[in-house]
Structure 1
Amino acid sequence: MRSLFMTLRSARDRALQSLLYEAGGLCLSVPLYMAWAEFGAGQSLGLLVALSLAVLLWSGLFSTAFDWAEHRLTDRLSSDRPWGWRLLHAVLLEATSILVTLPLLVLLGGLGWAEALVADLALTLLYATWAWVFHLAYDRFHPLTESTE
């Protein structure tokens, strides 16, 4: 029987999850972006921090909505998500993040739209892979338990 209440991550836990995800993503992406764009460390870090802040806000909103939708469809907790759903979550998160990050790459990165799209797609592939690995590990170390309400 489907419960009226579902267990979601608390705002504090979602904030921790999002911050750890973005910090790890920066550790992976800044050196790669520096090499590709031939920007200095400061310029690359500044741009990617701006992108990360935008995606940080989006990630929390998207992941909460995805968790809610998944629970409504499957009556499953997000920490019990099977591999296929994890892949779907990661790909959809990154695909929708392009809508947020592409204009920032053009405005803040000084790139043309075509260059920005190439950079955004490369970052999206990197972050989609990272999202899948990160969320799997996070759920293993911070599982949810069914609500008793």
Structure 2
Amino acid sequence: MRTTKDRIRHTLGFEIIGLLIFAPLASLVFDHNLLDMGMMALVGSLIATVWNYVYNLLFDHALLRLRGDVRKTTSIRVLHAFLFEGGLLLLFLPMIAWHLGITLWEAFVMDIAMSAFYLVYAFLYNLAYDRLFPLPLATASQQ
């Protein structure tokens, strides 16, 4: 399994790169000013950072228990990304509606679009991260 230091590096890298890409893109796509989208993205990032750490820790423990290994196949990566984004959607939806002064339906549509962006981003980021910082070979008994 990954160390706490590695998990922190993973989480911070994910959120910082995601913010740098997402805020300007969302401002253009959703026709809200960059400051509003940046603030929404920053608060969302803080929520996502905590969720990311907790979720990945729980997911890895579940993988270790169920499979004896934390390495992810492509299908497990897809499941991982969908479950992560689904949990984040539930946490983030009320904040979007409140901050932007829009209806829950409009926030839901916006959140789905953001989730689609982060779904693809999360898959690509985690794939690249695992190649840049590979897991040490270990078995459940060594953990």
Aligned mates of 2:63, 2:101 — CA distance in 1: 38
Distance 2:111 2:11 in 1: 20
List runs of 5+ in structure 2 lacking aligned partners: none
Matched, 1:137 2:128: yes
Distance 1:59 1:107 in 2: 23
How many residue pairs end up in the alignment?
Answer: 140
Q: Which residue of 2 aligns with 1:109?
A: 100
What residue in structure 1 maps to residue 14 of structure 2?
21
Letter in 2 for 1:71: L
Question: 2:77 matched to which residue of 1?
Answer: 86
Distance in 2, Cα, partners of 1:110 & 1:58: 24
Aligned with residue 121 of structure 1, among 74, 88, 112? 112
CA–CA distance in structure 1, aligned partners of residues 100 and 17 of structure 2: 21
What's the counterpart of residue 63 of structure 1?
56
Structure 1 length-normalised TM? 0.87
Q: Larger deviation: 93-102 or 105-114?
A: 105-114
Given residue 107 of structure 1, which amino acid in structure 2 is its aligned partner?
W
TM-score by length of 2: 0.91
Q: In the TM superposition, what is the alpha-carbon distance from 1:124 to its structure 2 partner?
A: 0.4
Q: Any gaps of 5 or more consecutive residues in structure 1?
A: 1-7
- Distance in 1 between the 2:36 and 2:68 partners? 45
Which aligned runs of 4 or more in structure 1 are off by greater than 6 angstroms? Answer: none
Alpha-carbon distance, 1:112 to partner = 1.0
**What is the aligned-residue identity percentage?**
29
**1:62 deviation in Å?**
0.5
Find the counterpart in structure 2 of residue 4 from structure 1. none
SS of the aligned residue for 2:46 comes to: helix
- C-alpha deviations, 1:73-128, integer Å up to 9, x for none? 11112xx3111111111111011110111011012222210110001000001101
